[in-house]
Structures are given as C-alpha cells and as structure tokens.
Amino acid sequence: MRKVYVVGVGMTKFGELWERSFRDLFVEAGIRAIEDAGVDGKEIEALYIGNMSAGLLVKQEHVASLIADHSGLASLHIPATRVEGGDASGALALVQGFSSIASGMYDVVVVGGVEKMSDVMAEKASEVLATTLDQEWEAFFGMTYASAYALMAKRHMHEFGTTEEQMALVSVKNHSNGSKNPMAHFRFEVSLEKVLSSPIVSYPIKLLESHAVSDGASALVLCSEKKAKEFESPVEISGIGQASDYIALHDRDNIVSMASTIEASKRAYEMSGVKPEEVDVAEVHDCFTISEIIAIEDLGFFKKGKGGQATEDGDTEIGGKVAINTSGGLKARGHAPGATGIAQVCEIVLQLRGEAEKRQVDNAEIGLTHNLGGSGGTCVVSILRRRR
Amino acid sequence: MTEGVARFWREIPHRYRLLGSKCDSCGRVFFPPRVLCPECRRKGNISRVALSGKGKIYSYTIVKDGANGFERQVPYVIALIKLEEGPLVAGQIVDCSPDEVEVGKPVELVFRRVSEDGEEGIIYYGYKFRLAEEEN
C-alpha cells in the first residue's frame, strides 16, 4: 500500500450563509484547497464528495457531477463520486480518496464535503438529521437526533456518575476554542452557567450542548509520496479506519460506548503504529457534549467512564493531556454534516503545520480525526503525522 | 398526505402486537424482527415470536424539542426498554409525569395513537409503554 499525503486544505467559514448556494459553497472550499496546495486543475485525477442529504435539503441529487461541473472540471471529464454515510459522509470521501491513491490508481485527488442546511426551515433540518436514525423503529416513535444522544447521556450518567456540569464543560471548552477560529460558526465564549441554564432540547441535553446547524464546505488535495516531494509541508495520513455498527441504539450491547469508534480507531492505530497516548491533538465528533465524552473514552485517551472527569480536570483543553476540538468542534466551528469530516482534517493539518494561530497546540506532531454517522452506525478515524 | 400506506401496513403485526423474531439456532430474540440472525447469518433459522411487552427502563430522555408531527405531545418521554425476553425496544412512556420516570422502573406495553400524516393522511398506531407495578 502506498503512503498518502495531504498537501492542500481549504474550507468555507461555517455558518448560516444565506447568500451562497450549495454549489457555490463547494467551489469556494475546493479553490482554497487547490490554491493552498498550489496544484493545477489539470493535475486532479478524481473527485470524491461527501454529502449527507442534498436530496432532502436542496432537492438535488447527482451531486458529484454538479460539483465537478461548477468547479470547472467538466471539460476534463474526471471521475467524480458522491459518497454518503449520514454525517460521516465527509470522512467517507476521505477514505475513498485515500484508497484510490494507496492502491496506485491515482497520484492526485481532491476529496471534500458540502452541506447546505439553511435552505430549509429549522424543523426540516432537524428532521433530515433524524433520517440518520432507523426511521421505522426509532424516528417513527418520535425519537430525534438529539434524543438518541440524550439516551446515551442518561445511561452514561447512570453507569458512571457523569454529571450535567461535566457535559456542559465540553461546550464551554469548545466555544472557547471556536472563539479563536476565524472559520467557526459561533465565535463567542459561553459560561458554564449559561450552558446549564439554556433550554432543554431533550433531557439531559441542552441547547448550548447541541451542535451548530451549519452551511459549509471543505476540501483537501491528497497525493502519493512520489508527488508529495514537490510540496512544502505535506502531512501524512499514516492510518485510517472505518467501521460500521447496528444503526439503531436498541440493537447494541450497550449505549455508553460506540463499537464503531472502537473498531475504526483500532484499525487506524494499527495501520499507523501510533498509540492513543501519543496523539497531541484530535478533532472528535461532538454533535452533542456527551458524544465528545464517549469518543475520548472509546479512542483510548481516557478510561471508560472517566471522560467527564477528564473534561472537568482540563485534560482536553489546549495545553492539556490531549487537545480536543481546537477548531471549536461541531458545537462551535459548526456541523455542516457532509463537510464536517473533512473540516476536521483541515484543522488537524493546520495544527501539524503550526498554522493554527491563537489555538495552536505547541509542537503538535500527531493528530487524529473522528467522524460519526448518525448515532454511531458509521465511524471513520484518521491519524495524521507531520513529516519529519 | 405524503406517505404511502403499504410502508405502514406491512409493519402492523410488529407495531400492534409486538411480534418479534427468534433465531432457532442460537436462541436470540429480536425486536424489531430480523430476517437474518447477525450471529448465525445463513446458518440461522428465523421464526416469529410474540413478546410480552413487559420490561424495565434502560435509559430515557424527556423530549422538549419534538420531532415533526410530535410537537403537540411535548414534553414526551422516549425510552429504551429492556424487554423480559432480552431485546431493547425504543418507545414512548405515557400516562405519567416525566418526573416519575427512572432507570430500572418496570413498564408494560399499551396500544396508542403514535402520530399522523398531516390532516388527510393515515393515523399511525403502535405501542407505547406505561409504568407498571413493581413485581415481587
């Protein structure tokens, strides 16, 4: 298997971007990634796009053709493919791009993600997110995306004594990080009191513990080792793992950990030879605060049941044991589902290059991304390394 | 009215009577029913089995921001129930104040209106749960 490198990153600001359309968003991110890498459009051999639900959100399917076309690639007729795995769609595009280079099929590909959430009313956006759950046996009875995670939160509290304060502190940290990220949807800090007193969405989850509903796009230029030598600061994708699990919570052995995260990370750690304790900085899928707590346990950063305490102890802050969600995470950087997994990689690459400005983790050498689909039926973990 | 009827109609035995399935090879009981056992796969042998509807609350949440079609029911309780026969099932807990709901409390099945497809579409019925007497 050949080594794969990230040589260009680009994203739009995440937010309610009223003036920009679905297609405009991706073009902006794609051009930024290509300019960051300094490649010519003619060098791109294939395009993989992560998108969760353009069909329901902007009534557009056949997304890959549309995006290749408006990105100015129609006349080159390159293969363009959309991949979908709920809100893990972006990371699935990364897996496809990675595989296509690792296999020797291509030397330069663009992978990206895009989602346009604000062209529908908020209720519709929530309904679309709930389509990542089992429609017949979860959503049918009134379960929402937030309430799926609320069930996990309540059980985590019951089994491990995790507190509402500990969960709220995830939001406080991620807002603090997001306030330092120019691309973040929410660039302001929140206090613990403010999070705890915000309206309940689905007990015990509160509004200020819930991901931002964002428009946004993100893109990466990936290349082979041979090609990477032409670039200034390539970052190696030294491990990648993807896993699936039972789509519905009721079919799992337990709901206080995610088997998909455990398996995906095991595969990524094995491929890279990296151990959890060596990771300096990680972007994890904090769609709700409990999700970050479960993820940092399942990824091996902290013991099962200790994620809340680790958060309270400051172990996940910039300067802590492992900096989690320096971008602000899904909470503050935002959650544009198809774009989220790739935006996570953008942040890690900036950290490993030392370009993360006010949120820079000192001397970050190894980074990790963790992207979930739905309530954990899909997970992708990637491990990135600065080239020494 | 936006949904076809067949999609709902074909699930009636499971949603009205909690008819699940069982793998006769390994003995595992499934609800919702499965046509393939995830352990035995093609070596399994699936048959139908009626479930009691009795179980205990495994986890719950009180939904304040309701799903589309459920707005008038807020706040409502969604729980995972550990059924006596083994499987977990997701459903609402009704006929009580949300404050009375606790992990571990026993519940039993009731048959209720779940939601409806707009003003002209079909009305969806199915199971919900209510708190039951503690068995000694």
Of A127, A150, A251, the CB nearest to B61: A150
**Domains held by chain B: number:** 1
Structure confidence by residue, pLDDT tens digits, A300-335: 999 999 999 999 999 999 999 999 999 999 999 999
- A275, with CB counted inside 10 A (0-12, 13-18, 19+), is exposed
Distance CA B23, CA A145 (A): 31
**Could you tell me which of A322, A311, A11 has the C-alpha nearest to residue A166?**
A311
CATH of the domain at B88: 2.40.50
Look at B114 and A130 and tell me if their CB atoms are within 8 Å.
no
What letter does residue A150 receive in the DSSP assignment? Answer: H
Chain B closest-CA separation from residue A132 CA (Å): 14
Domain that holds residue B71: 53-136
Per-residue pLDDT of chain A (388 residues; tens, 9 = 90+): 999 999 999 999 999 999 999 999 999 999 999 999 999 999 999 999 999 999 999 999 999 999 999 999 999 999 999 999 999 999 999 999 999 999 999 999 999 999 999 999 999 999 999 999 999 999 999 999 999 999 999 999 999 999 999 999 999 999 999 999 999 999 999 999 999 999 999 999 999 999 999 999 999 999 999 999 999 899 999 999 999 999 999 999 999 999 999 999 999 999 999 999 999 999 999 999 999 999 999 999 999 999 999 999 999 999 999 999 999 999 999 999 999 999 999 999 999 999 999 999 999 999 999 999 999 999 999 999 997 5
Statement: residue B67 has pLDDT above 90: yes
Query: Nearest-CA residue of chain A relative to B116?
Result: A140
Distance CA A248, CA A375 (A): 8
Domain A125-212+237-386 has CATH 3.90.1580.10: no
Exposure string of A74-111, with b = 16+ CB inside 10 Å and e = fewer, is: eeeebebbbbbbbbbbbbbbbbbbbbbbbeeebbbbbb
**Could you tell me which of A260, A341, A278, A283 has the C-alpha nearest to residue A86?**
A341
pLDDT at B135: 66
Q: Which CB contacts under 8 angstroms, 24+ apart, belong to A186-191?
A: A186/A212, A186/A328, A186/A331, A186/A332, A186/A334, A187/A332
What letter does residue A43 receive in the DSSP assignment? Answer: G
| 3-class secondary structure, A67 | helix
A155 chain-B contacts, CB cut-off 8 A: 58-59, 103
Helices (H), chain A: 22-37, 54-57, 63-68, 89-102, 122-130, 145-160, 164-178, 192-196, 225-228, 259-272, 289-298, 307-312, 329-332, 337-353
Beta-bridged to residue B131, according to DSSP, are B107
Beta-bridged to residue A81, according to DSSP, are A48
Beta-carbon count within 10 A of B115 CB: 18
Distance CA A4, CA A16 (A): 33
Shared fold status for A4-121+214-235 and A125-212+237-386: yes
Of B32, B61, B64, the CB nearest to A137: B32
Look at B92 and A127 and tell me if their CB atoms are within 8 Å.
no
Distance CA A79, CA A241 (A): 24
Tell me the pairing of strands A46-50 and A80-83.
parallel
| 3-class secondary structure, A155 | helix
Put simply, whether the predicted model's pTM sits higher than 0.95 gets the answer yes
Is any Cβ of chain B less than 8 angstroms from the Cβ of A147? yes
**Could you tell me which of A303, A365, A265, A309 has the C-alpha nearest to residue A167?**
A309
Which amino acid does the sequence have at A90?
Answer: G
Of B32, B61, B91, the CB nearest to A202: B61
| Contacts A–B by Cβ distance under 8 A | 102
What letter does residue A8 receive in the DSSP assignment? Answer: E
Structure confidence by residue, pLDDT tens digits, B5-47: 999 999 999 999 999 999 999 999 999 999 999 999 999 899 9
The answer to whether residue B3 sits within a structural domain is no
The answer to whether residue B35 sits within a structural domain is no
8 Å CB contact between A236 and A90:
no
Chain A closest-CA separation from residue B130 CA (Å): 15
- B54, with CB counted inside 10 A (0-12, 13-18, 19+), is middle
Is any Cβ of chain B less than 8 angstroms from the Cβ of A18? no
A71 to each of A28, A64, A76, A219, A231, how far by Cα in Å? 9, 10, 11, 12, 23
Segment (H or E) for A383: strand A378-386
Beta-carbon count within 10 A of B133 CB: 7
> At the top level of CATH, which class does the domain A4-121+214-235 belong to?
alpha beta
The answer to whether residue B25 sits within a structural domain is no
B68 chain-A contacts, CB cut-off 8 A: 123-124, 126-127
8 Å CB contact between B43 and A139:
no
8 Å CB contact between A93 and A111:
yes
Is any Cβ of chain B less than 8 angstroms from the Cβ of A140? yes
Statement: residue B92 has pLDDT above 90: yes
Statement: residue B136 has pLDDT above 60: no
* ipTM score assigned to the predicted complex: 0.97
What is the 3 state secondary structure string of chain B?
CCCCCHHHHCCHHHHHHCEEEEECCCCCEECCCCCCECCCECCCCEEEEECCCCEEEEEEEEECCCCCCCHHHCCEEEEEEEECCCCEEEEEEECCCHHHCCCCCEEEEEEEEEEECCCCCCEEEEEEEEECCCCC
Average pLDDT over residues B74-94: 98
The answer to whether residue B26 sits within a structural domain is no
**Could you tell me which of A342, A29, A59, A87 has the C-alpha nearest to residue A211?**
A87
Look at B61 and A154 and tell me if their CB atoms are within 8 Å.
yes
Query: Nearest-CA residue of chain A relative to B91?
Result: A141
Question: What does the domain layout of chain A look like in residue ranges?
Answer: 4-121+214-235, 125-212+237-386
pLDDT at B2: 75
